[in-house]
Chain A
Amino acid sequence: MTIAVLDLEKARLPTADPVSVASQVDVAADVWFASNARRTDRQFAVLMVFQWLASIALTYWFTPRTWAGAASSPSPHLAFAIFLGGIISFAPILMAWKLPGRRLTRHVIAVGQMSMSTLMIHLSGGRIEMHFHIFGSLAFLALYLDWTVLITASLVVLLDHGLGTFLWPDAVFGAGNSEPWRWLEHACWIVFCDIFLIYSCIARVRSIRVIATQQVDQAILLRQAYTDALTALPNRLRFQKDLELSLHQAKPAGCSGFALLYVDLDRFKEVNDAYGHTIGDHVLVAVAERLSQEAEGNAGFARIGGDEFVSICPRTSSGLEPIAERAGEILRRLLMPIEVDGLAIQIGASIGISLYPEDGASEDELLSRADQAMYTMKRKGRRGFVFSGGIMESRAEDRTEGEERLRRAIQSRDFIIHYQPLLSRNGTIDGLEALARWPAPGGGFVCSPGEFIALAEETGLIVDLGKLVLDQVCEQVAAWHTRGIDFREVAINLSPRQLEQGDFPAILDETLKRFGVHPEWITFEITESAYVPDDRVLEAGLEALRTRGIKVSIDDFGTGYSSLGRLQTLTFNTLKIDQIFISGLGQSEAALGMVRAIINLAHLLGMSVVGEGVENSRQARILRELGCDHLQGHYFSRALPVEAIQEFILQHSAQAERRSAGSNQKGWRPAELEQIERRAVATGVADMIVAFKAGQRDLGAWPVSRL
């Protein structure tokens, strides 16, 4: 007996819970029954065709003609066999052909088959041997394993005999034996046969369900052996088999080989730490879904580690472009925020790609090379992909082109600086963070800061870019100072590569001097997770800055791998908590605990604390309550161009003045004014602010709807 085996690829059985197993047993059994019904329908269709022809032959053999003296004519039995046999057989054959597997079909077949049996008894002259046809038909109908079909068949026979007994009792049971008990005896034999067959059917159905259960169990075990329980993606074991198969298939000469994509999520550990493992698991499931969607039409992904996914990508004659495009598409999908329990978690990925046969001929070699390439990408700034060492040409072309554009942009000073304010707990401006932007000629930007900074880091252009940013910021700071705009201090992101340059202190001195910028106006921010080959280099660079009176912040704190160790060995003035922790405030006890601990730790070490990425009032309130010294984020202001940030600074200065005055002409309370101004900024009612600044302090003149 064969039961339809579950399709492990399509069946989704992430857990072996009883309900799921039971439903899968039902599915497997139903599939088998449907298949059995269709098969039996076909068999009956064939049987009925031959049966019909046999009944004609039988009639021709028994009664070809009917006689009246010496004259004869074809026997009406022949007509009955041809036409009535045809009518009987037509519908079951048609339904078995057109509607196989349907319940109605098998009942029609049952009626047809039993009618045919009765007809053949008539055509054979009621021969007792022909009555076995009825029992044979019942046995054949039992193949459906549907007891209702046997009931239908029996009803047809009993109806025929019942009517016969009622209308022509002598004909059916003979004159002397036509008592009711004889009819009952006749019926009892049919019922006996039915009971036997029905019992057989039920026993067989039970055995099929037992086998189905065993098969489902086996399927679950197989699935668990080859599937990742969390994401339902293939696991490492399955991937190894697939990889082995791919290698085996790719061995023959002429095959273009394949690429191994090794995807590792960026900063997934921080997500787990900040939000807990439950949220982390949800993120992984979401990532797996995205990868599966991306993989439609391509080779699928397997999860081989905590946040590590791999895929085998066949190579074509088009070179490496399709693989690079696919890697880019994966990155694009993974960069989109993931919604989990109301949280919007942004997570990127680094992809390392190894190629068969260039990077190795064994599973271990290919995996190892892809892994190494992935870590290279991590070191180079993450959120990108890189081919393993041997074959970088294709990627290098792209990089070279991008590098050339970046170099030209730096030379022609195409970059502009946007500034994002840092506010104190009281809402006053404590400083600005300078952020480089690469504007496109027609509006918008050439690419995101993450992309061109990663490219600059990789190509070493970060040194020139950093120099340009330093120039532009110092120039702007000097201008603001001249105009009396109180910006407090401006934070500039500093790459460890710049610190590695021996002439950086000299360049810094020259720049500050050239623009007349006081070192106290400048702060440098170093990303905590930045790749620094040797902490001693970093320490020396920091020391050089400190001796000039320049403050240093550690940026994106909590996202690196040696945070506490660096805090112990290196000295920073400010610690900036990464937004990944801030976004969990108010939603996750773990995030709250982490932020509280970081703030306390920073204060204990004598550092001030900046909360980055504040998105809403709730986060701002919690940070204030936790004692965070400075706040930064879109809730207050996004990074603004120079003109806009000047307006922002002036506006806040005016606000501070009013706050110090404690009242205003219209009698607005400071909190009300702050709310109005924040709305004005958020809704872009710049003219209101200008008017307000220009002296039209009576806000009552403005339509309330605009507020």
Chain B
Amino acid sequence: MKQKWLVLCCAILWFSALVSGWCVVERYERTPGAQSRAPEWLTGRMLPAGTLAATPKGVPVLLVALHPQCTCSLATMHELLRIVQQSHAPASIVLLMYTPEHLPEGWTRGERLRSASESLHPRIIDDTNGRWARGLGARTSGEVLLYSPAGRLLFQGGITSERGHEGASAGGELLERAMQSQERTARTPPTFGCALFAGKSGA
């Protein structure tokens, strides 16, 4: 009888530890990164010279700020690929790949992200110290900005439902709608990913 109670108490303790652990995981997974307000209009100065000029006319510009080491952003790229394919709306995709001025040891150029985005045929810009991303108000890896062909901001935010989580999300659906309708979305969905700038963590 005593052993039975002991086992039951241990089981309850274990279950409590389990639930507590889950709460910590969920909290981490669902805590969005920092966000700033993006400029309402996209101008040539906000991107490296010639970037905008190189984009096809009459096509929206889709900017994605990425940290090459952020594995969570891989989900963003997969989602983006899915959305672009589903929406059938043309867009000129520009990836702002964060690059520190002094490369730390073990730094990679984000080959996984690059290969994941190959089928999108994006223009990849090495964003030294996140200069261009900062100017566009992007603070978290995976933040997506969609500007109309006229340069007006249509969408800003993340397209994954939580950190590194693939699958349907509110952000993804809003982006898809914005690409199809060319209309400004009312909401700014949260972005889940690594911080682009030290000291101000994305998550």
| Interface set of A (CB-CB < 8 Å, partner B) | 62-63, 65-72, 76, 80, 83-84, 87-88, 90-91, 95, 99, 104, 108, 111, 115, 119, 122, 125-128, 160, 168, 170-177
A66 touches B203 (CB 8 A): yes
Residue of A nearest to B141 (CB): A67
CA distance A128 to B29 in the complex (A): 17
B203 touches A176 (CB 8 A): no
Asked whether any CB of chain A lies closer than 8 Å to the CB of B41, the reply is no
Least distance between B193 CB and chain A CB atoms (Å): 9
- Offer 14 A-B interface pairs, CB within 8 angstroms, sorted by A: A66-B70, A66-B194, A67-B141, A69-B130, A71-B198, A87-B14, A87-B17, A88-B18, A99-B7, A104-B8, A125-B71, A126-B164, A128-B166, A170-B170
A171 touches B162 (CB 8 A): yes
Interface-forming stretch among B50-58, B96-104, B118-126, B146-154? B96-104
Contact of A122 among B15, B29, B71, B202 (CB under 8 A): B29
Q: A69-B195, A173-B168 are in contact. List 20 more A-B contacts (CB 8 A).
A: A63-B71, A67-B141, A68-B195, A68-B200, A69-B100, A69-B129, A70-B103, A71-B198, A72-B69, A80-B21, A80-B28, A83-B21, A84-B24, A125-B75, A128-B167, A160-B22, A170-B161, A170-B170, A175-B170, A176-B170
CA distance A83 to B102 in the complex (A): 35
B169 touches A87 (CB 8 A): no
CA distance A301 to B14 in the complex (A): 56
CA distance A170 to B160 in the complex (A): 10
Least distance between A183 CB and chain B CB atoms (Å): 14
B166 touches A127 (CB 8 A): yes
Which residues from B are CB-within-8-Å of A125? 71-72, 74-75, 163-166
CA distance A76 to B194 in the complex (A): 12
B167 touches A174 (CB 8 A): yes
CA distance A67 to B18 in the complex (A): 28
A176 touches B168 (CB 8 A): yes
Contact of B18 among A65, A69, A71, A87 (CB under 8 A): A87
B71 touches A174 (CB 8 A): no
B198 touches A91 (CB 8 A): no
A90 touches B14 (CB 8 A): yes
Query: A126 with B162: in contact, given A68-B200, A80-B21, A108-B11 (CB under 8 Å)?
Result: yes
B164 touches A68 (CB 8 A): no
CA distance A621 to B181 in the complex (A): 121
Query: A67 with B194: in contact, given A62-B71, A177-B168 (CB under 8 Å)?
Result: yes
CA distance A122 to B164 in the complex (A): 9
Sort A-B residue pairs by CB-CB distance and give the 8 closest, nearest first.
A174-B168, A175-B170, A125-B164, A69-B198, A70-B100, A126-B165, A171-B161, A84-B21
CA distance A90 to B18 in the complex (A): 11
Query: A174 with B161: in contact, given A66-B203, A69-B130, A125-B72 (CB under 8 Å)?
Result: yes
Residue of B nearest to A70 (CB): B100
CA distance A72 to B167 in the complex (A): 27
Asked whether any CB of chain A lies closer than 8 Å to the CB of B155, the reply is no
Contact of B198 among A62, A68, A104, A173 (CB under 8 A): A68
Most B CB contacts (10 A, CB to CB) among A71, A90, A170 go to A170
B173 touches A175 (CB 8 A): yes
Which residues from A are CB-within-8-Å of B196? 68-69
Which residues from A are CB-within-8-Å of B169? 170-171, 174-175
Least distance between B186 CB and chain A CB atoms (Å): 13
Residue of A nearest to B103 (CB): A70
Least distance between B170 CB and chain A CB atoms (Å): 3
Which residues from A are CB-within-8-Å of B103? 70
Least distance between A85 CB and chain B CB atoms (Å): 9
CA distance A176 to B170 in the complex (A): 7
Most A CB contacts (10 A, CB to CB) among B14, B24, B173 go to B14
B168 touches A175 (CB 8 A): yes
Which residues from A are CB-within-8-Å of B11? 91, 104, 108
Which residues from B are CB-within-8-Å of A68? 194-202
A176 touches B69 (CB 8 A): no
Which residues from A are CB-within-8-Å of B107? 70
Contact of B161 among A62, A70, A95, A168 (CB under 8 A): A168
A67 touches B70 (CB 8 A): yes
Residue of A nearest to B69 (CB): A67
B194 touches A119 (CB 8 A): no
Contact of A80 among B25, B30, B172 (CB under 8 A): B25
Which residues from A are CB-within-8-Å of B21? 80, 83-84, 87-88
Which residues from B are CB-within-8-Å of A88? 18, 21
Contact of B72 among A63, A87, A177 (CB under 8 A): A63
B164 touches A63 (CB 8 A): yes
Contact residues, B1-53 vs A (CB, 8 A): 7-8, 10-11, 14-15, 17-18, 21-22, 24-25, 28-30
Least distance between B8 CB and chain A CB atoms (Å): 8
CA distance A71 to B75 in the complex (A): 22
CA distance A99 to B6 in the complex (A): 13
Most B CB contacts (10 A, CB to CB) among A66, A127, A160 go to A66
B164 touches A70 (CB 8 A): no
Which residues from A are CB-within-8-Å of B28? 76, 80
Asked whether any CB of chain A lies closer than 8 Å to the CB of B61, the reply is no
Which residues from A are CB-within-8-Å of B29? 122
Least distance between A491 CB and chain B CB atoms (Å): 71
Which residues from B are CB-within-8-Å of A111? 15, 18
CA distance A125 to B167 in the complex (A): 10
Residue of B nearest to A67 (CB): B194
Which residues from A are CB-within-8-Å of B141? 67
Which residues from A are CB-within-8-Å of B74? 125
A171 touches B30 (CB 8 A): yes
Which residues from A are CB-within-8-Å of B8? 104
Most A CB contacts (10 A, CB to CB) among B11, B75, B200 go to B11
B25 touches A119 (CB 8 A): yes
B30 touches A168 (CB 8 A): yes
Which residues from B are CB-within-8-Å of A173? 168
B161 touches A67 (CB 8 A): no
Residue of B nearest to A173 (CB): B168
CA distance A99 to B8 in the complex (A): 12
Which residues from B are CB-within-8-Å of A175? 168-174
Least distance between B27 CB and chain A CB atoms (Å): 10
Residue of A nearest to B15 (CB): A111
